Structure 1
Amino acid sequence: MRQRAVLITVLFALIVTLVSVSAVFWEFYKLNKHQYIEHIFSKHETITQIYREHLQKKTSQIMLEANLAVYKFVIEEGEGEQKRILKKAKILKQKNLQRVDEAIMLNQKGLFTHKIVRDVRISMLEFKKTIYFHIEGPIGSVLIEDEGLKAYTYYSLAYSYLTIILIISISFVLILQRLRPLIRLRRKIALFGNGDMNISFKTRGYDEIALVSNELESTREKINSLLESRTLFLRNIMHELKTPIAKGTIATQMLDSQKQKDRFSSIFGRLESLVTEFALIEEVTSLSDKRDFKEYRLVDIIDGAIDMAMVDRSSVSFEIDASIKLTGNYRLYTTAIKNMIDNGIKYSTDAHVRILMINNELCFESKGECIAHPLQYYIEPFTKENPSKNSFGLGLYLVDSILKVHRQVLAHEYDNGVNRFIFA
């Protein structure tokens, strides 16, 4: 989910925009339709006035139709058609009015005006896209068709709405097109981080993503150049160191004094061991290609580590299920376990190391006093617990470096006189 945060944000913005635009157009549609109905309903006043004069003056039906025809009003005379329209038509608006009929009367006191108040209901109807006015009074009703007026249509509003939605959708597609190079760039960076040093970030274009990609390509070339120079320098210097060490070892054998011979043999042996550890450290730190990582049984790796350590088998005991496997570089992981075996035997009180699995984590237990410093102190290069011990202080540093390559960490705990180092 977090890896697609930008895409999800764009989708969310699109959805919010579409919903907002749709809501605004819906409200505008209802308001526009209401105003349209209110506007055309004002015609009922003209119809009411013509119909009232017809009733008061008792004019003929032909005269009523002629007066209505002036305003393009037509009386629906078919009784069956009237019933059908009144039954199926949609009522747009209704209004109740009071009609006042006046008549001159004569009594003992003379002439007077007699007023009669009657209720009248005006209904505006829509049937088959035609507008009708239905007037209902105490003495009858009439259904009038307005030929000059059509029912409300939403086509222009719908056209505007669809146009805006299309523009928003096209904009969204263009944004996605702009984001595609960013997605490809993320994948290339992931490959580069996984060790593919030959991946190319170079791209054409002048936008911000293209500029970032080309800057990354320039940085990649510089990093590769530095790594190649570093590797070449280390390999050359180690090669140059091995030659005088080998010559010194041979020359030592020509000494007459056994004491001097042993002293120089120890010195050149330690130098050779140091160069070997430096070579291994260089290999670990420069390891970028994980394609040679394969699956091995853990018991096979431990057996190889014991052989590499050249210690008595009785000094190491392990309780590991033969079905447990791990994926990694066999030589490096074997070296890490070998260093833990050497370290455990060297600093334990009984010269014994126990290897076991606890909570799916590989543990190395040895009896002895708790380490004097935090673990972080010992995984730094050239640090060791006892300076008199025959080591360079690179063992745990090398173990930590190998575990990092295998996406693991080195941990330590002390429990009832037992030091426990853990590959977590």
Structure 2
Amino acid sequence: MNKNSIIFSTTLNFLITFILLVMAFIFLFSHENSMKSEQIFDRYKPIIKMINSKKNHFDEDFNKNLLDMNYKIFDSKEDIENILSTHKKIIFTKANKHGDFFKIFQIDGKYHLLFDRFNKQILIKDLESESFTNSTYIIFVFITLLLVITFLYIKTLKKLLPLKELKDKVINLGDEKFDFDFYTSSSKDEVALLANEFRKSAIKLKNIKESRNIFIRNIMHELKTPITKGKFLLQLEKNEENSEKLKMVFNKLESLINEFATIEELISQNKVLDKKSYFLEDLIDEAKDILMLDESCVFCEYENIKLDVNFKLFSIAIKNLIDNAIKYSSDKKVVIKTNENNILFINSGKKLQGDFKNYLEPFYSKSSKDSFGLGLYIVFNILKANGYNLLYKYEDGKNIFTIQKG
């Protein structure tokens, strides 16, 4: 373990606290036992003085007085040995230079006072022994504090553990490895907030990286057609008509570059779009202008409804749907219809194979010939940003793509 880490420092603090707590418990327990012995001795001082004053001469009246005070005296050597042969605990002991001694035992919860004077033993039993110990309370407080400290340590450790995971993920992030599971929490502490913000940043960086890759691939994918047209025009005779067509090619290239920049920004930042109300016909005309296609390829059978959308992006989505419909149709034509507020793009062709959701991923294809490139992926993201869904169904040999309000 790294000795400079927060987790190591927290664990070390817990161990130091635990050791200090144990030392405090041992000291208090020892002190309690010492105080207990002194309290017991102080309690029996009057009895000790009474016994010492008799000098081992006890009559019936004295024994009766002791019994009235709930003390029972044993002066028979045999009785004393029988009692002391059982399990006993020494509470207090005191001896003098003459060899006499005095001891206090606890036997079966009762205190016994043993006098050994003038080579004679006398044992007095306290019939109403009381407990003088606070040990139970000390042990209870010790266990309670230990449990509380351990609980706080474990709770703190759980809150700090994401930092270790966060360190490992930062290393992965530096290597552009964004596909990882990470700690999520609804807690509001600083570590949880940091972890959640890191997770959001990782997702955002992943989206940015993905959008950059898509941006580059899309440039190669989409610019191929106008570049090919431009090369062809350069080989033709230079006249006003060809010059105008060449100019249109460059306008197309500029339009595509602006289109890619807008898409990249949309995917990477999830920006709030500036939406206004536009007629469907204007959006379709813009899409056809971007494509530079023959009008005969598109059959318009729609009502000129109004849509609350971002004009530039929504035109790009329509452009991609028209382009794919023509490209993958058997007759190279597309029909655009409306059904209430839904917009339908219909073409003749084979049914899409597999789950339609897969086609919304970049460059998904069942085979190299059937790749939809980035078209549907861009369409899906643009429609989603504008509050629309993209649906698909196949009926009577027709592929039907539907733009539906979400």
TM-score range, shorter chain: 0.3 to 0.5
Q: Tell me the TM-score normalised to structure 2 length.
A: 0.46
Structure that is richer in strand per residue: 1
> Which structure would you say has the larger RCO, counting Cα contacts within 8 Å and 6 or more residues apart?
2
